[in-house]
Amino acid sequence: MKKPIKIVFLDALTVGEVDNLSLIRSQGEFVSYDVTMPGQRIERIRGHNVVITNKVIIDREVIDHCPEMELICIAATGMNNVDLDYAAEKGIIVKNVAGYSTESVAQSTFAMLFFLLHGSAYYNDYVQSGQYAQSRVFTHHGHPYWELNNKIFGIIGMGAIGRRVAQIAEAFGAHVVYYSTSGRNLRAAPYEHFSLEELLRSADVVSLHCPLNGQTANLLNEKRLQMMKSTAYLLNMGRGGIVDETALALALDHNRLAGAGLDVLTCEPIREDNPLLQIKNSRKLFITPHIAWASREARRTLIAKTAKNIRSYFGGLK
């Protein structure tokens, strides 16, 4: 007799409204919670052998108190919210989902860059305020911008997303260079590998697409931010802890950078006392709420691959 499959999704709000959640519901008895606080984890997981989590932490305490748990499905690529070693010791399988958001993040990278580079907020305000209606000429040059063609586009982290961003940058005529934080992608032809310092000093755009780990934590600190061109743009689509946010706020306030776009922050949601909320010229900074990964297509793919992970574990797929 087959054992019943009992599934709990601890933080379904993180994937928003998706129209294919039935793919998971159909795998067994299913219950979901929008948000699960630390003190609610054990109570909600008990009795379930499949746990789906995006960011809810599954640590030793949870594992010890939930003996029925046998499969943890991470509805994301990053796995740092699960104690992987202890899960393996207890015979619990952990499956993540990779490659579902490559196109979404790459598209968001350029949306963010061009919003800053082209002064979109400035020009929209100029027209909407009525100033353009009073102009004596047909054009206005309040925010000069430059072309990406023939500029140096520096990518930190040449994984799947980094490579896709590189392809798009090339389509705009940029010269792509990169720095591998892991040292594993040193032959990402046809792109030239730079040292981190060389990349920061030469790039007109620096785009971060690397994970947060011991090698990348605080990678762009005050000293390294000072290496960048004052005309350059910094984009962080990786993880918040890679950039020193206090140092970045100072760099923007002292015009050591043309602008910065962030989809990720050290603390999410953003803290009210984050220095980035107090910079002098807010148009130099564009922050989105960790949304670059979350196109409709990416979220549907995430759900489909999570359902596939459940089916494969219980023998539904060969």
Tens-place pLDDT, residues 80-90 = 899 999 999 99
Task: Return the CATH number at 150.
Answer: 3.40.50.720
Smallest CA-to-CA distance from 135 within 127, 143, 125 is with 127
**What are the φ and ψ backbone dihedral angles of 236, each rounded to 5 degrees?**
-115, 105
What are 256-275's pLDDT values in tens digits?
A: 999 999 999 999 999 999 99
Q: Judge if 154 and 272 occupy the same domain.
A: yes
Domain that holds residue 54: 6-100+296-313
Same domain assignment for residues 13 and 68: yes
Identify whether residues 304 and 270 lie together within a single domain. no
In this structure, how many other beta carbons lie within 10 angstroms of the beta carbon of residue 59? 14
Active centre residues (catalytic): 239, 268, 290
The domain total for the chain is: 2
| pLDDT at 189 (0 to 100) | 65
Tell me the whole-structure pTM to 2 decimals.
0.92
Q: What local confidence, expressed as pLDDT, does residue 317 receive?
A: 45
Same domain, 114 and 239: yes
Asked if the structure places residue 1 within a domain, the reply is: no
Task: Let me know whether 94 and 108 are in one domain.
Answer: no
Q: Picking from 17-21, 134-138, 188-192, 274-278, which range would have the lowest pLDDT averaged per residue?
A: 188-192
pLDDT band for position 94 (cuts 50, 70, 90):
very high
Q: Are 184 and 177 in contact (CB under 8 A)?
A: no
Residues 144 and 246 in one domain: yes
In the predicted model, is pLDDT for residue 295 greater than 90? yes
Q: Let me know if residue 318 belongs to a domain.
A: no
Same structural domain, 136 and 96: no
The token pair at 316 is 């539904």
Asked if residue 71 and residue 156 are part of one domain, the reply reads: no
Residue 151 included in any domain: yes
